[in-house]
Amino acid sequence: MQRVYSEALILTIALLRTTRRLSYRQLLFCVAPEVLSRFHDPDYGDYFETLDESCQPTHTYEGSAWKAAYHLTQAWWHVARNLYDTDMTCVL
C-alpha cells in the first residue's frame, strides 16, 4: 500500500514539473498530507508497512524486506528534487 502512495507522490510531482499546471500542485498538497497522516507512526517516528480498509495498521512492526520508510523516503526525495530542483538535504 505504501508503494501506491509513494508512486502517487512521484507521479504528481512529475506531472507538476512537466506541465506546470497549478491543479497538480493542489493535488500534491492533498496527497502529501494523506501519506503522512495515514502511514506515519507518531509514537516511534517510522512508517507503517500496510493499512487495512479503514486505514488502520495491519501490524505494528515496521521492518521487513519491503521497508515502508525506504519507499516513502524515496518519494519525498523525488518531490524535493523536482519541486525545488535540488536534493532533499538543501530543502530540510
- Asked if residue 59 lies in contact with residue 53, where contact means CB atoms within 8 angstroms, the answer is no
Residue percentage of the chain with pLDDT more than 70: 74
Write the pLDDT tens digit of every residue in 21-48: 999 889 888 888 887 788 778 887 777 7
Q: Residue 61: which of 47, 75, 71 has the closest Cα?
A: 47
Q: Is the pLDDT of residue 88 over 50?
A: no
Distance CA 87, CA 92 (A): 9
User: How large is the greatest C-alpha to C-alpha distance in the chain, in angstroms?
Assistant: 39
CA pair distance 45, 43, nearest whole angstrom: 6
In angstroms, rounded to a whole number, what is the distance separating the alpha carbons of residues 44 and 22? 35
Higher per-residue pLDDT: 24 or 8: 24
